[in-house]
Amino acid sequence: MNVKIELLSTKHIDELLTFEKENRLFFESSIPGRKESYYSKENLVHIVKEIEEEQDAGLCYMYLIRNKKGELVGRVNLFSIVRGIFEKAELGFRIAEKHNGKGYATQAVKLVLNEAFNNYNLHRVEAGTSPNNIGSQIVLIKNGFEFIGRAHDVIKVNGKWEDGVLFECLNKVKDYLEKQ
C-alpha cells in the first residue's frame, strides 16, 4: 500500500490551505468553485473546527491522503451520514493535479471503505461523478462500486447545471476488498 489516510484536524490547517490553493483551478474545472474567503487561514480554522465537531458526532469523516513520503496528495471524505434505517454515507475524493493517475485515489477509497464498513458500521456508501470524469468512475468500480444511474441537472458547476453518474457500494463488498 502506497498511501495512508489521516483524519482531518486543526493541526493540518497550513498544509490543507496550501493544498487547496495549489489545486484550486484544477478542482474548479470539475466541481463547484469556492468563494475567495474560503482560502483564508481564519476561515479554514473555523471550517475545520466545525468538521472536528461533526466527526466527533459521527456526521462525517474527512481524511487527508498521504503518499509513502508523507506528502499530502489528496482528500477522501465520508459525508451526509444517515443512521437508523439507512446507515449510509456519501463518498467524495480529490487528488492533487500533480499526483493524478498514480493510483492514490483507488488505494485511499479502499482504505476509507474499510473504515466505513468495519469501524463506522455503515451498510451503504454512495458516490457520484460528472459523466466525463472517467478516472473517478474507474476508481469507484475498482473498489466494488456499481453503477446505479444518471441524475439529470444534479449539480451546478461554474454556473451551469450538470448531470451526475451515480454509484453505490454495499457492506457486502468487504470480502471483495480484502482479496484485492
177, pLDDT greater than 80: no
DSSP-derived secondary structure letter, 145: -
Q: What is the pLDDT of residues 92-123, one digit of tens each?
A: 999 999 999 999 999 999 999 999 999 999 99
**pLDDT at res. 176:** 56
Q: What is the pLDDT of residues 35-75, one digit of tens each?
A: 777 788 999 999 999 999 999 999 999 999 999 999 999 99
CATH number at residue 132: 3.40.630.30
Report the number of distinct structural domains present in the chain.
Answer: 1
Question: What span, in angstroms and rounded, lies between the C-alpha atoms of 73 and 133?
Answer: 19
Q: What is the pLDDT of residues 120-150, one digit of tens each?
A: 999 999 999 999 999 999 999 999 999 999 9
Range of the domain at 137: 3-179
Question: What span, in angstroms and rounded, lies between the C-alpha atoms of 56 and 136?
Answer: 28
* Sign of the four-CA dihedral 166, 132, 103, 71: negative
